Structure 1
Amino acid sequence: MNLQANYEQIPLKEYAERAYLDYSMYVVLDRALPFVGDGLKPVQRRIVYAMSELGLAATAKPKKSARTVGDVIGKFHPHGDSACYEALVLMAQPFSYRYPLIDGQGNFGSPDDPKSFAAMRYTESKLTPIAEALLGELGQGTVDFVPNFDGTLEEPSWLPARVPHILLNGATGIAVGMATDIPPHNLREVAAACIRLLDEPDAGVTELCEHILGPDFPTEAEIITPRRELRTIYETGGGSVRARAVYRREDGNIVITALPHQVSPSKILEQIAAQMRAKKLPMIEDLRDESDHENPIRLVIVPRSNRVDLDEMMQHLFATTDLEKSFRVNLNMIGLDGRPQVKDLKRILTEWLAFRTDTVTRRLNHRLGKVERRLHLLEGLRIAYLNLDEVIRIVRTEDEPKPVLMARFRLSEEQADYILETRLRQLARLEEMKINAERDQLEEERAKINVLLKSPAKLKGLIKQELKADAEKYGDARRSPLVEREAAQALDESALVASEPVTVVLSRKGWIRAAKGHDVDAEGLSYREGDGLLAAVKARTTQQVAVIDSSGRSYSTPAHTLPSARGNGEPLTGRFSPPAGASFDALAAGDDDTRLVLATDHGYGFVTRFEALTGRNKAGKQLVSLTEGARLLAPQITADPARDRIVVATTEGHLLMFSVAELPELDKGKGNKLIEIPRARLASGEEKVAGIAVVAEGSGEVTLYAGQRKLILKWPDLVEYGGNRASRGGVLPRGFRRVERIETTG
């Protein structure tokens, strides 16, 4: 036995290529992409056709969905019943389809959870009235029928759609190497654009967009994409459309009344609640879902106080939740040539009108054939009536009356069969006037059909007339309002934090924490063994906190992210990456425009804006150029550099006060000399700057510390130490020649 005759040997590469290409073409043509003519994928077409065959028209009584699914998968679509039922459910959901094709009774899902529909054995379904626009001309010779999967039945290759369904309900699908995302549109707008194209074949996308304003989703959410961008989508066949929820103010609260297409209320609530739990929405007090049958969408957002800017809050929610959503548009479909292609609006409507013209032509020809056949039969009947006695004699006496009738009265075989099949009772009652009246009526209809078929202009007129009638019958007003708005922007992180006072505490070993309030005894907090207070600053949770290391590099972090002072805090090395061997020496907090005096113990300093200290880099940024052996002093805030005074004290008891305005304002650098210290004493470490303090003109007060002693100098006392920047200053009283630090106390 020769086994080789039963199979073919081909290289694996060739087999894999052939198998994958066959699969790809099947997925593209017979599963994922809709046909431009009827706008349906094969499974949808088969469901609608099977329901029409089951007699489930809009006026009929519904039947169990399982009955329909059984017919579909048993006769036309040999695939899984769950996938088929899901496709049926989708066509019945008014929140998924702009113009549902199926009227479902029972649980067909909800906007909150579209896939929560009941099993097919529980639900019932039938077609909606608009499905008639797809099926009405099916039996009129308008489509090609092909064998089903097992060759026992026939199914239509497409449905004779009277409206451009491809744009009405749109489609989404993923094929092999391509996808489609066609948004739904308004029937009246699309019909108007088709009529414009029939009247003006040279009209471009711009002219068609005068009628088709944009997509029309099943929800009442706003489409905020600008008109020019929508026009670009229709010109190129691709892009994105942005939709935004609709809200109103009600008793100081925000009430959301419409959500973007395919966005569930529960998901929105979950997204907002997640931000509230993360303390990223301090302006919101409460969140409620008050949706019911009368108000399908009613989400209530309660602000924390009447001082909250509601519009600003909603802008943030639009940017951070699905209250504003972008929908991809990819007008990819199977064209009249049977090939998938991304088409622009004019190409889509042009191809559909060609499809419609062909459908109407086939319908007219089909009707013309029926009219002519009936006229032919009526002519035979008329002859029989006029010669009734002779016809009866031939039927009675002849063994084969048919050929005799055909020869005697010059009848066709079809006419002779029709006469012979007519009951004698009916023949006897035939009246020539009735035959002539029907004949005249049919001849008039034949003349009209011939005029339509021979006149392209009149054929266009018929198509326009039918389009207008269907748009009037099945169309409705636009649901998705077109409102041009800018895409929402999320609020800055600091704007989402409640502004509360905190005291930021930095230890000598670089551990940081934040205590609530400004009346905090930083010295009295507990510290790790061998550690203690280095610096403490008053801040607010909305501000940034900056630290400067011993190399002069600056780092920053939001104050609200710091750990609580109940514990020991966290090491700054976990947040930042300072150079090896560097320690954190200084701490500051403020707004971007806050001005600080930065100085070193070698007597150099400058003024800078707090913004210069901030940055996102974990490695920080170089801020202060330090001379060898110099250490940064605690930064001092200056509210008004033109009027404030800076007081500089050295460890050897020299004190100098001068205007802050004498210092340069820099983003980074070394700065200018503050006070004169002999170079030799500075080099040997005998004398350095003990500290600086910024005081207000006319009301300043400082406290100097030297061991256990402290000296309070009020404004009149400080005036005596006034002088020019970089001068030696005055000498403090005996007992304060060893100053350790200086603080502003008034």
Structure 2
Amino acid sequence: MPTQPPLNFEGIERQPLRAFTEKAYLDYSMYVILDRALPHIGDGLKPVQRRIVYAMSELGLSAASKHKKSARTIGDVIGKFHPHGDSAAYEAMVLMAQSFSYRYPLVDGQGNFGSPDDPKSFAAMRYTESRLTKYASLLLSELGQGTVDWQLNFDGTLEEPVLLPSRVPNVLLNGATGIAVGMATDVPPHNLREVVAACVKLIDDPDTTLGDLCKSIKGPDYPTGAEIISSKEEIRQIYKTGNGSIRARAVYEMEDGDIVLTQLPYQVSGSRIQEQIAAQMQAKKLPMVEDVRDESDHEHPTRIVIVPRSNRVDVEQLMAHLFATTDLERTYRVNLNIIGLDGRPRVMDLKSVLQEWLTFRFDTVTRRLKWRLDKVNARLHILDGLLAAYLNLDEVIRIIRREEEPKPVLMKRFDLSEIQAEAILETKLRHLAKLEEMKIRGEQKELAEERDDLEKILKSKAKLNKLVRDELVADAETFGDDRKSRIVERAAAQAIDETELVTVEPVTVVLSERGWVRSAKGHELDPATLSYKTGDSFQAAARGRSTQQAVFLDSTGRAYSLLAHTLPSARGQGEPLSGRIDPPEGATFAGVMIGDPEDRWVVASDAGYGFVVKLEELFSRNKAGKAVLKVPDGSGVLAPSAVPKVEGALLCAVSSDGKLLAFPVGDLPELPRGKGNKIFGLNAKKVESREEFLAGIAVVSPGQNLLVRSGERKMTLKYAELKDYRGERAQRGAVLPRGWRKVERLEVESKEGG
């Protein structure tokens, strides 16, 4: 087998992979920033938008022409100037045609160009037709007047403009959004009249302050209207730094007791609003709303009707809640990151944007005037030659007839330039009439006057300022309109507290031994009569109101809280608490509490320690709960007991060997968390071996009975009979009657004999 010759890398560039990848990524980043994602200060367009507008102008699709199939336009765009995907180019064109996306659309679409509910629901480009709008002429009217530089297209066969000679600050008028590599831009749209008024102020006085500019430009002006509720100071700060956020809110009015939404924030879908409101209604979080429906049509593009349940509903409070919980109020990021005249992207303040655009505009107008002056001088030069020919017409005719090369002879005889001589030779016989001489002299006079005017403007800064100023004012008069987004300073909306949205009614929260929970209406229910799953049984119950929080205490001493009205109905068997919260593995639930935040409860471990705690100390938004009671190793947690708001309440504690102790509940300290103080004098060694423990606690007030339960049997002790078991806290108490030495738990009856 012949051996392979060694590879020869001579003449091939070699560089480290790190250097190559760094340069490649940097090149890609700069391409995305400069040639895809960010707008230019001059015309406010990204390259794809600029190429679409230019290609349409080249196809003759002005506002006065007939619409042409969009596929034809996109074919020209991607075939001649923008070698990318047709769907991306078409989507960019559609965006420029949507009146709800662009404040001043550049494309006039015919067909389905999407809707505010779904901007991307537009028809395929083979079905739609398009042409440029009248506003687009502000970007194109000066294109052929030497105002901009030109560059070769991607394959070098055609030329395209580097920028379009915009007559107005389109970068502010239509805004822009884009994400590049390492930077993004969010320029909100503005009102043409306001922006032009600010430009005029800067032309008249370059030292105009930002505060004076903000008197003209009051804030963004979104195409869908709605209210801008940010404060003037917030808006001014955004224009000062080029960064910040704007809050916009839907507009509504009342009609026959119904709430009618007539304007939605920018890029907010009406169907999405309906979905959000309907979801809250289904979740019973909007009991004051009876119905929501969409009555939008061609005459009323936005008309969403919200029907209150009654005329007693506080409409302002309801709308504030909807503003806070739906897209009826939106926050928009503002980041005035724009490619400047130096070709570098940077975040600009409002004054810098206007100043830099005015620099671009003055340069454009100057180039236009010079281009026109050159054209005028060139025409005058030709007219001078033609006039010389008419004054010596017979001699000119003689030379043309007799000379083989008449051009150099004419140039020498009448001291003409080559251009003048060529113009004379190309003159048609019909133009040799006497009247043509008069026309030439008249044209000379007009052009001479125009030349003098152009030279005066170019030499005078004041005249140039006046020209630019007058053109801006005229364009604002022609294309300007009233502001759509009213600026109304309002406080941020507040959602209605969830408890205020729920009907207040008595409920009984029932907890089973296996940790299943449910909520029954009313307080008359006997939890023991409910059906439980096989192997499960009643553990604890607490009575309160639907708007209160139910607090569950587990065997590790952690507390968890859930709103009572969110618990499943007692018509079924409930659902496991572990599906709502996240207790430690192996933990069981000892009891449930419900009431006002200021209510006090006794919590205790069966090791004989406990304390009084306010219910609000047990509230927790965390699914993992809140550590409250410190439980000694090997011990359990007892069902908590409510402390009545009356004098003389006794804390009753019973041990596993049938001893009952009653003492004033005030003797037990009030703590937010901890192990607590000794309640019952248990033998520490027997507690460790579980030979002795606390079987239950209950707080009994005058007028209540204590129920001592042992299996199916129960013994009732009236409040007065508890005197036989009175003692000091931490004592061992008195022995219960024979047959009641195996107590399982203590309960409280609300009325003696009840």
State the distance in 2 between where 1:339 and 1:653 align: 87
Q: 1:181–1:329: 8 Å Cα contact kept in structure 2?
A: yes
Which residue number corresponds to residue 122 of structure 1? 127
State the distance in 2 between where 1:734 and 1:302 align: 66
Pairing partner for 1:442 from 440, 443, 447: 447
CA, structure 1 residues 524+383, in 2 after alignment: closer, same or farther (shift >3 Å)? same
Which residue number corresponds to residue 264 of structure 1? 269
2:487 counterpart SS class: coil
TM-score by length of 2: 0.86
TM-score by length of 1: 0.86
Deviation at 1:350, TM superposition (A): 1.5
Q: 1:623–1:667: 8 Å Cα contact kept in structure 2?
A: no
Alignment partner of 1:542 is 2:526 = no
Alignment partner of 1:73 is 2:78 = yes
Deviation at 1:158, TM superposition (A): 1.2
- Within-5 A mapping of 1:354-433: 354-430=359-435, 432-433=437-438
Residue type at the aligned position of 1:428? A
Q: 2:682–2:693: 8 Å Cα contact kept in structure 1?
A: no
Pairing partner for 1:49 from 50, 54, 73: 54
- Within-5 A mapping of 1:145-156: 145-156=150-161
Listed one character per residue, the Cα deviations across residues 143-169 of structure 1 (whole Å, up to 9, x for unaligned) are 122222222222211111111111111
Residue type at the aligned position of 2:641? P
* Percent sequence identity over aligned pairs: 59
Listed one character per residue, the Cα deviations across residues 117-171 of structure 1 (whole Å, up to 9, x for unaligned) are 1122221111111111111111111112222222222221111111111111111
CA, structure 1 residues 295+706, in 2 after alignment: closer, same or farther (shift >3 Å)? closer
- Within-5 A mapping of 1:605-624: 608-615=613-620, 616=622, 618-623=624-629
Which residue number corresponds to residue 693 of structure 1? 700
CA, structure 1 residues 555+400, in 2 after alignment: closer, same or farther (shift >3 Å)? closer
CA, structure 1 residues 415+686, in 2 after alignment: closer, same or farther (shift >3 Å)? closer
Which residue number corresponds to residue 196 of structure 1? 201
Which residue number corresponds to residue 176 of structure 2? 171
CA, structure 1 residues 125+502, in 2 after alignment: closer, same or farther (shift >3 Å)? same
2:97 counterpart SS class: coil
Deviation at 1:690, TM superposition (A): 6.6
List runs of 5+ in structure 2 lacking aligned partners. Answer: none
Listed one character per residue, the Cα deviations across residues 708-728 of structure 1 (whole Å, up to 9, x for unaligned) are 7876969xx799999999799
Pairing partner for 2:142 from 133, 137, 141: 137
Which residue number corresponds to residue 512 of structure 1? 517
Pairing partner for 1:476 from 472, 476, 481: 481
State the distance in 1 between where 2:491 and 2:157 align: 58
CA, structure 1 residues 353+648, in 2 after alignment: closer, same or farther (shift >3 Å)? closer
List runs of 5+ in structure 1 lacking aligned partners. Answer: none
Deviation at 1:663, TM superposition (A): 7.3
Deviation at 1:620, TM superposition (A): 2.9
State the distance in 2 between where 1:98 and 1:427 align: 55
CA, structure 1 residues 35+531, in 2 after alignment: closer, same or farther (shift >3 Å)? closer
CA, structure 1 residues 393+321, in 2 after alignment: closer, same or farther (shift >3 Å)? same
Pairing partner for 1:8 from 12, 21, 29: 12
Pairing partner for 1:102 from 107, 132, 135: 107
Q: 1:168–1:186: 8 Å Cα contact kept in structure 2?
A: yes
Deviation at 1:357, TM superposition (A): 0.8
Listed one character per residue, the Cα deviations across residues 312-342 of structure 1 (whole Å, up to 9, x for unaligned) are 3333333333222222222222211122222
Listed one character per residue, the Cα deviations across residues 263-306 of structure 1 (whole Å, up to 9, x for unaligned) are 22122222333344444444433221111111111122233444
State the distance in 2 between where 1:90 and 1:4 align: 54
State the distance in 2 between where 1:87 and 1:585 align: 63
CA, structure 1 residues 271+550, in 2 after alignment: closer, same or farther (shift >3 Å)? closer
Deviation at 1:428, TM superposition (A): 1.6
Listed one character per residue, the Cα deviations across residues 361-400 of structure 1 (whole Å, up to 9, x for unaligned) are 1111111111112222222233233333333333334333
State the distance in 2 between where 1:701 and 1:19 align: 84
Pairing partner for 2:220 from 215, 220, 228: 215
Deviation at 1:525, TM superposition (A): 1.2
Residue type at the aligned position of 1:555? Y
Listed one character per residue, the Cα deviations across residues 410-454 of structure 1 (whole Å, up to 9, x for unaligned) are 222222222222223222233554433322222221111111111
Listed one character per residue, the Cα deviations across residues 41-79 of structure 1 (whole Å, up to 9, x for unaligned) are 122111111211221111111111122112222222222
Residue type at the aligned position of 1:614? F
Which residue number corresponds to residue 649 of structure 2? 646
Which residue number corresponds to residue 352 of structure 1? 357
Listed one character per residue, the Cα deviations across residues 476-512 of structure 1 (whole Å, up to 9, x for unaligned) are 1111111223333444444454544431112345443
Residue type at the aligned position of 1:693? V
CA, structure 1 residues 391+501, in 2 after alignment: closer, same or farther (shift >3 Å)? same
Alignment partner of 1:339 is 2:377 = no
Pairing partner for 2:260 from 255, 258, 269: 255
1:534 counterpart SS class: strand
CA, structure 1 residues 56+635, in 2 after alignment: closer, same or farther (shift >3 Å)? same
State the distance in 1 between where 2:636 and 2:81 align: 87
Pairing partner for 1:32 from 33, 37, 41: 37
- After TM superposition, the structure 1 stretch with the greater mean CA deviation from structure 2, 423-432 or 570-579, is 570-579
- After TM superposition, the structure 1 stretch with the greater mean CA deviation from structure 2, 557-566 or 30-39, is 557-566
CA, structure 1 residues 219+6, in 2 after alignment: closer, same or farther (shift >3 Å)? farther
Alignment partner of 1:487 is 2:492 = yes
- After TM superposition, the structure 1 stretch with the greater mean CA deviation from structure 2, 578-587 or 511-520, is 578-587
- After TM superposition, the structure 1 stretch with the greater mean CA deviation from structure 2, 30-39 or 240-249, is 240-249
Deviation at 1:577, TM superposition (A): 6.5
Residue type at the aligned position of 2:360? F
Deviation at 1:207, TM superposition (A): 3.0
Deviation at 1:633, TM superposition (A): 6.1
Deviation at 1:551, TM superposition (A): 6.2
Q: 1:613–1:623: 8 Å Cα contact kept in structure 2?
A: no
- After TM superposition, the structure 1 stretch with the greater mean CA deviation from structure 2, 511-520 or 288-297, is 511-520
CA, structure 1 residues 626+543, in 2 after alignment: closer, same or farther (shift >3 Å)? farther
Q: 2:608–2:694: 8 Å Cα contact kept in structure 1?
A: no
Deviation at 1:186, TM superposition (A): 1.0
Q: 1:247–1:254: 8 Å Cα contact kept in structure 2?
A: yes
Alignment partner of 1:502 is 2:507 = yes
- After TM superposition, the structure 1 stretch with the greater mean CA deviation from structure 2, 733-742 or 299-308, is 733-742
Residue type at the aligned position of 1:465? D
Q: 1:586–1:635: 8 Å Cα contact kept in structure 2?
A: no
Listed one character per residue, the Cα deviations across residues 568-617 of structure 1 (whole Å, up to 9, x for unaligned) are 44455666666798764432211323344668999998654321222236
CA, structure 1 residues 657+61, in 2 after alignment: closer, same or farther (shift >3 Å)? same
2:529 counterpart SS class: coil
Q: How many residues align?
A: 734
State the distance in 2 between where 1:23 and 1:307 align: 62
CA, structure 1 residues 408+3, in 2 after alignment: closer, same or farther (shift >3 Å)? farther
Which residue number corresponds to residue 237 of structure 1? 242
CA, structure 1 residues 579+368, in 2 after alignment: closer, same or farther (shift >3 Å)? closer
CA, structure 1 residues 579+324, in 2 after alignment: closer, same or farther (shift >3 Å)? closer
Residue type at the aligned position of 1:10? R
CA, structure 1 residues 721+155, in 2 after alignment: closer, same or farther (shift >3 Å)? same
Q: 2:338–2:345: 8 Å Cα contact kept in structure 1?
A: yes
CA, structure 1 residues 199+522, in 2 after alignment: closer, same or farther (shift >3 Å)? same
2:377 counterpart SS class: helix
1:457 counterpart SS class: helix
State the distance in 2 between where 1:374 and 1:597 align: 105
State the distance in 1 between where 2:20 and 2:557 align: 69
Which residue number corresponds to residue 465 of structure 2? 460
CA, structure 1 residues 44+510, in 2 after alignment: closer, same or farther (shift >3 Å)? closer
Q: 2:107–2:131: 8 Å Cα contact kept in structure 1?
A: yes
Q: 1:555–1:621: 8 Å Cα contact kept in structure 2?
A: no
CA, structure 1 residues 731+72, in 2 after alignment: closer, same or farther (shift >3 Å)? closer
1:514 counterpart SS class: strand
